[in-house]
Amino acid sequence: MKTNARPLSLTFRVVLFVAVTTIFSLSFLGVLIDSSIRHHFVQQDINELEVISASIEGALMKNHTNNEQLIDSLSQAVVGHHGVYYQVNAQQGDFIYANSERNLSHLSSTLPAKTGFEIANVTEQQVGNFSYRVLITTFKTPQTTYSAIVAIDMSFHTHFLTQFRQSLGVIMIGAGLLVLLAGWFAVHQGLNPLRGLSKKMHDIQTNNFEVRLDETKVPIELLNMVQSFNLMLDRLQSEFLRLSNFSTDIAHELRTPLTNIITQTQVGLSQPRASEEYQELLFSNLEELERLTNMVRDMLWLAKTQNGLIKPKQQVLNSHTEIEALFEYFDALAEESNITFVKQGDNLNFYCDQLHFRQLLSNLLSNAIRYTAKGLSIIVSTEKADSGQVCITISNPGDKIQPDHLPYLFDRFYRPDKSRQRHSDGAGLGLAIVKAMVEANSGKVTVASDDDNTHFKVFFNSP
């Protein structure tokens, strides 16, 4: 069965990165140091071979009357050089002089000899248990030609390099472990603010939404996260309060019609009655059931809209045409309430689903009629907003809505009137539906209220 592996911890990731970087850096540094030291020893030996070669050449260039004088000059040619061995042969290969008992003759048969000192002629050779850096060259004098084998024992250098490499390896391992330990400690300490935030987040409960993380006590790298978390808490607190209020409101809204149905039914069944009374009871219950049905239908529509299940079919609408059509629809109700409709502003086109627009404007006009006194007028005006959108304003005279109520007017079942007395048969979902429809059509709705009028403004995109 396929399982999702847990991602590597942040500490492990950082320490692994530091470990790889440290190993690579120390290895590169070690190779560089080792190469530099070996190059230094090679250059040092080459310089010494050059000096010795020049000394041998100087001894051979002297005038010698016999071999004893030649051997004496060669014996005194190199003085004070430790670990240096040389052997001089005649051109025919006859042995003349060697400054030690080590036999280097076989090297002349395996390595070419050239005239004078050349760095390219210096090679490394293994003779028995000893390693040498060897130079084979020839010297021409007025009398004859000589072959010289000059070798420098590399044992001291090899021993030094072996010890140095061992010491360098120990130092690098120690330094690497120290860097890893320091990296782990730095990451562990660096994550302390996250552990503190995690503890504070753990303490946040549904009954303790007032807790906020202190933005001044976190590193700059965590500031955006803390700000985002605090904003999330603000939204959650707001939505939680709305949900709590919604649960209370819906219980109240459902309880009233259900209580009416139960009470009326109990009264009707308490004693025998005429068929006309039972018919009247059924009609009364039917009204309450229809009210419940409408409420549930509106709630389902809101839920679908807010979850993107209802897609509006936007088209270009004409403001005066749509407003006049709704005025005709509400003409009878307005006449009954002795209220007049007034249309103002420019005739503008805008994008919106026609059914949605007529529904939301109907809800706003119904709401305006409900709170407008007899003999007054409701004004519907159209204008071009500064943002380039088309703004349709519905203004009705009436009591001022207090500012603390305005942000919640579009919530489900919300009423500024805390006594919850209805002005009509509305269930408190009309303005919530208005907001859902407007936002589904990429618009927005606002409300403002002063001592004389309440203004609902709906904004739609223009073509």
pLDDT at res. 341: 92
- Residues lower than pLDDT 50 in the chain: 1, 419-424
The CATH-assigned architecture of domain 315-460 is 2-Layer Sandwich (3.30)
* Two structure tokens written together for 97: 């002089």
Please tell me the predicted confidence (pLDDT) of residue 423.
43
- C-alpha–C-alpha distance, residues 27 and 375, integer Å: 94
DSSP lists the bridge partners of residue 393 as 381, 457
User: Could you tell me the two tokens for 187?
Assistant: 């990451």
Which region, left, alpha or beta, applies to residue 284 given φ > 0 means left and ψ of -120 to 50 means alpha? alpha
For the chain, where do the domains classified as CATH 3.30.565.10 start and end?
315-460
Share of the chain above pLDDT 70, in %: 87
Contact present, 290 and 427 (Cβ < 8 Å): no
Distance, first Cα to last Cα, the chain: 55
The class level of CATH for 10-163 reads: alpha beta
Q: Are 263 and 235 in contact, with CB atoms under 8 Å apart?
A: no
Residue 421's pLDDT is: 45
pLDDT for 133: 83
Query: Could you tell me where in the chain the CATH 3.30.450 domains are found?
Result: 10-163
pTM of the model: 0.50
Taking Cα atoms as reference points, which of 117, 113, 82, 114 lies closest to residue 100? Answer: 82
pLDDT in tens, 300-312: 777 777 666 677 8
Q: Phi and psi for 453 in degrees, rounded to 5?
A: -140, 160
**C-beta separation of 117 from 54 below 8 A:** yes
Q: DSSP of 100-162, one letter per residue?
A: SS---HHHHHHS--EES--GGG-EEEEETTEEEEEEEEEEE-SS-EEEEEEEEE-HHHHHHHH
Q: Where in the chain is the domain with CATH 1.10.287?
A: 220-306
> Residue 424: what pLDDT?
47
Query: DSSP letters of 359-388?
Result: HHHHHHHHHHHHHSPTT-EEEEEEEE-TTS
φ/ψ of 214, rounded to 5, equals -80, 115
Q: Thinking of the domain 220-306, which architecture would CATH place it in?
A: Orthogonal Bundle (1.10)
| pLDDT (tens digit per residue) in 266-277 | 888 888 888 888
Helices 354-371 and 430-440: crossing angle in degrees, nearest 10, is 150
Question: What is the spatial distance between Cα 107 and Cα 294, in angstroms, rounded to a whole number?
Answer: 113
